[in-house]
């Protein structure tokens, strides 16, 4: 009997053409990741949103070192729709930060859709660049948020989580993405199924932190389930892996072993924002960059402080720099007294002078070959 399947019939040609257009984008032999129309290049490195850490001045610094995509600190949807000053201030982003996502959280569908619309109109409402995408936080583990059913609290109500996501996607034209965890606890690691449902709700990328809510930040991030999500043949949106990436080698392993499209780096950027450059260099060449010398770290701290004051004014700019300043000089011997100055001085001139003293006292003997490698 003759087969009814025509190998090169019109349907197969159509299907082949369909597959061709759906193939991952490729430039010069390299695949690159896209969220909607946002082209993030090959193996993008993203700065994790971190409350009280990744403000505009820190984002400025991370961008200089090559962060491919960044997010605002999370913004309460209730705060936004109440016009709370702190929430509105967080809507301000700058052109040089693009592409940037504005991240919102909450558990009331109407508040979340209204907040997403405000995030989409951030440039009109708050000035500045606005958002290139809206990210929903379903991962925050802190009690006051998760116990109220927002952030990772949503992992106990996946139907509601998916419903909120669907409504946010419908409410805005910008791409919507989600950042979440593996599940609520050890017995409810629902991420593989949840990822499909979030994709069906219309999100255009998913970031997964490889811990459950109950783990908070303890133990080690488990990337195997992130890898399972990526392996699922039904998944077609980019998957961004997150959790414990703190070295170029770990970053390379995350891409190679778990196949993620991008990686997101959080705590390892404290006092070490040049990690983006170190990782990119290692991925491109297989070589490790030398440590950043103290004089370069002083120059970096100066820039960061100046930007913080420029954006937030002298008083707040200095206060909010304290958590960063001493981190830049971790590990220096006999640093206690100087560290105290960095976290107590209120006068910008004195702070800049103290930074100069660090360069003189601890900068001697720095490996000269490290100078300028980081473009400072």
Site residues (vs ligand FMN, CB under 6 A): 48-51, 53, 73-74, 103, 137, 139-140, 179, 209, 242-245, 265-268
b (16+ CB within 10 A) / e for 42-73:
bbbbbbbbbeebbbbbbbbbbbbbbbbbbbbb
| Helix 348-363 vs helix 294-312: crossing angle, to nearest 10 | 170
User: Nearest distance from residue 265's CB to ligand FMN, in Å?
Assistant: 5
Task: Select from 139, 78, 87 the least CA-distant residue to 111.
Answer: 78
Nearer residue to ligand FMN within complex by CB, 73 or 278: 73
Cβ atoms of 166 and 203 closer than 8 Å? no
Where does residue 163 rank: exposed (0-12), middle (13-18), buried (19+ CB within 10 A)?
middle
62 a catalytic residue = no
Give min distance, CB of 2 to ligand FMN, in A. 58
**CB of residue 72 to ligand FMN, shortest distance in Å:** 8
What is the distance between the alpha carbons of residues 317 and 308, in angstroms, rounded to a whole number?
A: 5
For residues 267 and 302, which CB has a smaller minimum distance to ligand FMN in the complex?
Answer: 267
Catalytic residue among 22, 62, 140, 327: 140
Select 201 or 221, whichever has its Cβ closest to ligand FMN: 221
Shortest distance, CB of residue 231 to ligand FMN, whole angstroms?
22
Nearer Cβ to ligand FMN (211/304): 211
Give the gyration radius of the chain's Cα atoms: 22
Q: Which residue's entry shows tokens 């690159």? A: 32
- In the complex with ligand FMN, the residue whose CB is nearer, 151 or 296, is 151
Smallest separation (angstroms) from ligand FMN to the CB of 97: 16
What are the residue numbers of the active site? Answer: 140
């Amino acid at each position: 009997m003759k087969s009814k399947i025509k190998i090169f019939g019109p349907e197969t040609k159509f299907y082949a053409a369909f597959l061709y257009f759906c193939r991952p984008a490729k430039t010069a032999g390299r695949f690159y990741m896209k969220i909607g129309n946002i082209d993030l290049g090959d193996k993008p490195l993203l700065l994790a949103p971190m409350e009280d850490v990744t403000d505009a001045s820190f984002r400025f610094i991370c961008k200089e070192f090559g962060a491919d995509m960044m997010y605002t600190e999370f913004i309460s949807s209730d705060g936004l729709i109440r016009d709370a000053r702190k929430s509105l201030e967080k809507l301000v982003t700058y052109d040089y930060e693009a592409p940037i996502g504005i991240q919102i959280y909450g558990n009331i569908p109407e508040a979340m859709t209204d907040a997403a619309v405000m995030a989409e109109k951030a440039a009109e409402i708050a000035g500045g660049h606005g958002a290139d995408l809206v990210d929903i936080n379903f991962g925050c583990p802190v009690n006051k948020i998760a116990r109220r059913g927002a952030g990772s609290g949503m992992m106990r109500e996946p139907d509601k989580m998916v419903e909120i996501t669907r409504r946010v996607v419908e409410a805005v034209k910008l791409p919507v993405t989600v950042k979440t965890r593996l599940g609520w606890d050890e017995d409810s690691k629902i991420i593989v199924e949840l990822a499909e449902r979030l994709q069906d709700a219309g999100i255009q990328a998913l970031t997964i932190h490889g811990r459950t809510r109950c783990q908070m930040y303890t133990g080690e991030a488990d990337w195997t389930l992130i890898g399972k999500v990526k392996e699922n043949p039904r998944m077609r949106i980019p998957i961004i892996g997150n959790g414990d990436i703190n070295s170029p080698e770990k970053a390379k392993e995350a891409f190679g072993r778990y196949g993620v499209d991008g990686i997101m780096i959080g705590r390892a950027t404290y006092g070490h924002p040049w990690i983006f450059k170190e990782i990119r260099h290692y991925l491109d060449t297989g070589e490790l960059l030398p440590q950043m010398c103290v004089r370069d770290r002083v120059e970096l701290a100066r820039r960061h402080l100046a930007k913080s004051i420029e954006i937030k004014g002298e008083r707040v700019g200095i206060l909010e720099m304290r958590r960063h300043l001493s981190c830049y000089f971790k590990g220096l011997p006999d640093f206690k007294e100087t560290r105290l100055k960095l976290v107590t001085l209120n006068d910008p001139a004195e702070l800049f002078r103290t930074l100069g003293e660090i360069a003189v006292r601890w900068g001697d003997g720095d490996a000269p070959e490290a100078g300028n490698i980081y473009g400072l």
